[in-house]
Chain A
């Protein structure tokens, strides 16, 4: 059985790509939300992507719900 960390990694990588990608778009087309000049989508998407990759590596060899 694939480890739970593998699944969490897949979810975070997917969302990291989408959110980070939207952050790149907002670099050129700023949104009208508060504090948009801080580009939260960009760096938060990056954090999710990196976290997801780490968790995917932790979980890829798993057989059980191990951690």
Chain B
């Protein structure tokens, strides 16, 4: 079964491809230096950088995956937008950005080189490069899924069309292209999909939360017993695994999102970037949780039925596309499909622009050609954009084999980002952390996370020892594994650091708290201070959690 698009829908879709390629062609003449290509010229405002910061994260994975997850888990998925994002985004803006931004680095691995040494940078750069290619591949997989479900397009054609388009506009305009299209995508997502949630809520009437089973209708009330909530996770798992390690690991160290803040024109702007993004992040459940609950309600009343695969299993990710087809006549339907396409493209572009920067500066220039000129680096950035896309296509076919996309994504985060957060946290806030401590801690954290992943997957150990539940869901496994990997990295880093010699203070200026002068924002009016807006954001988060307790 496929959904038929009318001529007007095709016009909207084709226009979108025309717009983004046109933007890429326009920006090419402004992309001359390495700073232009890899950091968008460091001239973004806080709003541009903030919306791009959020959009780089708000890909197809977010929208389809979490709408489908809401259908399955209920309002519990809002944890991933609220406690699983906001505190980390505010921490990044207020406490970490001064060190990232002031050190004038091109990438997060670049920070590790400055703070520690080359081997720590290479370890992180290689693991990050692998992760971004996988993520980009998953974006392609999801795009192909939508093309296939909506339009009946061939998998191969879908993957290659998306790949060629992204390769073209990122190779032309670098990070500037990626940021411009991410901002366009932000508006398209809200304007293309928010309407679906509004119409859904109008149709089902009544209070959806009152009709849900209690296990799916509250954020915290059923979190004391893993058997009483659909995700099979307890509140310590949510707080430690998701709210602390996974969330901070992703939002504060993942170069894909942090790179957008690096493009800001000054430190205050860079600090405001994740803080502005936090408000929009808190609002996204209006689309995904709202849409997921509407789909659950209509499905329980047999008004709609989700797609099923060849084995008869429900495809939860089809919830939102089915709602779009239900409410949107031709024209709006094309807009809804374009919003999803825009999300996929932005996700891919985000990954590829981060990948080309890390490869060019942290592997190619660091190891292969140390005396590379600026024009040569830009040329290399363009070349590796194409190569990265080809690798992503390979990853897309691999991702197709995995049953649940979001669980898989969380698994990758906890291999790479969770231990890295411990390394950077100690590096930024404890000057005694040594290069060897960081390297061996990071290595131990990553290896232990990977080992725990295999052990849980193949039943080598009783999951109770890691998750305190005999029947944890994959999500619960990921949260707890992230926590243990972080802890192992933290402990190993501290122990090795105490046994080895730290760098002298003079080499750590600009990189470590206490040795770096942090500009005070008191000269700005209250409404321009990052701390003020962070405080309001935090209050909103607390209110939402109490309201939906």
Residues of A within 8 A of B (CB): 1-2, 4, 7-8, 10-12, 14-15, 18-19, 21-23, 26, 31, 33-36, 38, 40-41, 44-45, 47-48, 51, 64-67
Taking the complex as formed, is B30 at the interface, i.e. its CB lies under 8 A from any CB of chain A? yes
The SS class assigned to the A binding surface is helix
Minimal beta-carbon separation of A63 from chain B (angstroms): 9
Most buried by B among A12, A22, A35, A41: A22
Contacts of A36 in B (CB 8 A): 329
Contact of B329 among A8, A10, A12, A33 (CB under 8 A): A33
| Alpha-carbon distance between A7 and B182 when the two chains are bound, in angstroms | 12
Minimal beta-carbon separation of B39 from chain A (angstroms): 11
Taking the complex as formed, is B331 at the interface, i.e. its CB lies under 8 A from any CB of chain A? yes
* Closest A residue to B199 using CB positions: A35
Question: Do B12 and A65 touch (CB < 8 A)?
Answer: no
Chain B stretch 36-50: residues in CB contact (< 8 A) with chain A: 40-41, 43-48
Minimal beta-carbon separation of B170 from chain A (angstroms): 16
| Alpha-carbon distance between A8 and B187 when the two chains are bound, in angstroms | 8
| With A67-B45, A67-B47: A8-B332 Cβ-Cβ less than 8 Å | no
Contacts of A23 in B (CB 8 A): 331
Question: Do B184 and A34 touch (CB < 8 A)?
Answer: no
Minimal beta-carbon separation of A15 from chain B (angstroms): 6
Contacts of B41 in A (CB 8 A): 64-65
Contacts of A41 in B (CB 8 A): 329, 331-332
Known pairs A4-B48, A15-B191, A40-B327; list 13 more (Cβ under 8 Å).
A1-B27, A4-B180, A7-B180, A11-B187, A12-B191, A19-B331, A22-B329, A33-B329, A34-B203, A40-B332, A65-B43, A66-B43, A67-B46
Question: Do B47 and A12 touch (CB < 8 A)?
Answer: no
Contacts of B176 in A (CB 8 A): 65
| With A2-B26, A8-B187, A18-B11: A31-B329 Cβ-Cβ less than 8 Å | yes
Chain B stretch 457-486: residues in CB contact (< 8 A) with chain A: none
Chain B stretch 99-135: residues in CB contact (< 8 A) with chain A: none
| Alpha-carbon distance between A65 and B221 when the two chains are bound, in angstroms | 45
Chain B stretch 318-363: residues in CB contact (< 8 A) with chain A: 326-332, 335
Question: Do B199 and A38 touch (CB < 8 A)?
Answer: yes
Minimal beta-carbon separation of A67 from chain B (angstroms): 4
Most buried by A among B19, B187, B329: B329
Minimal beta-carbon separation of A53 from chain B (angstroms): 13
Taking the complex as formed, is B172 at the interface, i.e. its CB lies under 8 A from any CB of chain A? no
Minimal beta-carbon separation of A66 from chain B (angstroms): 5
Taking the complex as formed, is B406 at the interface, i.e. its CB lies under 8 A from any CB of chain A? no
Taking the complex as formed, is B443 at the interface, i.e. its CB lies under 8 A from any CB of chain A? no
Minimal beta-carbon separation of B108 from chain A (angstroms): 22
Contact of B12 among A15, A33, A51 (CB under 8 A): A15
Chain B stretch 496-540: residues in CB contact (< 8 A) with chain A: none
| With A65-B45, A66-B43, A67-B45: A7-B23 Cβ-Cβ less than 8 Å | yes
Question: Do B47 and A14 touch (CB < 8 A)?
Answer: no
Contact of A11 among B8, B19, B48, B265 (CB under 8 A): B19
Question: Do A34 and B199 touch (CB < 8 A)?
Answer: yes
Question: Do B331 and A35 touch (CB < 8 A)?
Answer: no
Minimal beta-carbon separation of A6 from chain B (angstroms): 10
Question: Do B191 and A66 touch (CB < 8 A)?
Answer: no
Contacts of B265 in A (CB 8 A): 64
Contacts of A15 in B (CB 8 A): 12, 15, 191, 335
Minimal beta-carbon separation of A7 from chain B (angstroms): 6
Question: Do A4 and B179 touch (CB < 8 A)?
Answer: yes
Question: Do B191 and A51 touch (CB < 8 A)?
Answer: yes
Question: Do B327 and A33 touch (CB < 8 A)?
Answer: yes
| With A8-B187, A34-B326, A66-B43: A19-B335 Cβ-Cβ less than 8 Å | yes
Contacts of B184 in A (CB 8 A): 4, 7-8, 11
| Alpha-carbon distance between A43 and B179 when the two chains are bound, in angstroms | 29
Contacts of A34 in B (CB 8 A): 199, 203, 326-327
Question: Do A35 and B8 touch (CB < 8 A)?
Answer: no
Contact of B183 among A1, A4, A21 (CB under 8 A): A4
Most buried by B among A4, A8, A22, A48: A4
Query: Can you list 20 contacts pairing A with B, beta carbon distance less than 8 Å?
Result: A4-B48, A12-B191, A18-B11, A18-B331, A19-B12, A22-B8, A22-B330, A22-B331, A35-B327, A38-B202, A40-B195, A40-B327, A44-B332, A51-B191, A64-B44, A64-B45, A65-B45, A65-B176, A66-B43, A66-B48
Minimal beta-carbon separation of B335 from chain A (angstroms): 6
Contacts of B46 in A (CB 8 A): 67
* Closest B residue to A16 using CB positions: B191
Contact of A8 among B11, B40, B183, B327 (CB under 8 A): B183
